[in-house]
Structures are given as structure tokens and as C-alpha cells.
Amino acid sequence: MSGGSRTGPYLCGIDAALDVVSGKWKGLVLWELHEHGTRRFGELRRALPGVSEKMLTQHLRQMEEDGLVHREVHAEVPPRVEYSLTETGASLLEALLPLGEWGRARIERDGLSVNESPAMSTAP
């Protein structure tokens, strides 16, 4: 596997899980695809304020290699590329939901600031 993901050996299951979600944007991409279904690259980029085109491309490639997202290229001019969650990606997101709830509680408890992006308003 290229793109930064390791192939083991891992110290534990948490190590293996964090390997595929490392990076600021991967969890947010999973959430966006979960909430809105199939999305084009530009839709993902607009939904994630602050992500660069290069970083989003890199994360999507890694996530595809790790089996989290499906990339479909439609034979049109210009080409249309769409991304969707795989079963593996959906199961990873389900595993991350309690972590999101913990993070939301931390934000409230510690009075941390939150990006008020409309796209992320329903994120855990």
C-alpha cells in the first residue's frame, strides 16, 4: 500500500484503525459521504473549508487504496468522477461515531471554538 498507510505489523487494533484515518480530513470525508451519499470532488472540497485540492486528492487516493471509498469515473467530456463510501468505509464511520460524541462533549466541557460551517453542522 502506498500513500502513507502502513501494512503492519501493528501493535493493536487501535493502531491499525488509526493508520487508515490518520490525517485531518479523512474522518470528515467519511462523514460527508455518509451524510450526503455520492459526491463529486468539487462538492467534497466545498463541504470541507480549508482543505486544499492537493490534500483532498491525496486523502481520497489513500482512502480508495484502503478500501474506504469507491471512486467511479464516468466516460463523459469532461470526465465526471464521483466518490462514495464502501461497506468498509461505512463500518469505520460507525466505529468513529462514539469518538465524535466524545469530541463534542470535550468541546462543550472545555468551551472550545467550533467552525460554524453549515456543511459540518450535523457532525458528531
The region of weakest confidence among 4-18, 53-67, 76-90, 102-116 is 4-18
Beta strands in the chain (DSSP E): 39-40, 69-74, 80-85
Query: What predicted TM-score, i.e. pTM, was given to this entire model?
Result: 0.83
What confidence tens digit (pLDDT) does each residue in 41-97 have? 999 999 999 999 999 999 999 999 999 999 999 998 988 999 999 999 999 999 999
How many whole angstroms separate alpha carbon 114 and alpha carbon 18?
A: 23
CA 40 to CA 97: how far, in whole Å?
24
All domains of the chain in start order, with CATH:
13-102 (1.10.10.10)
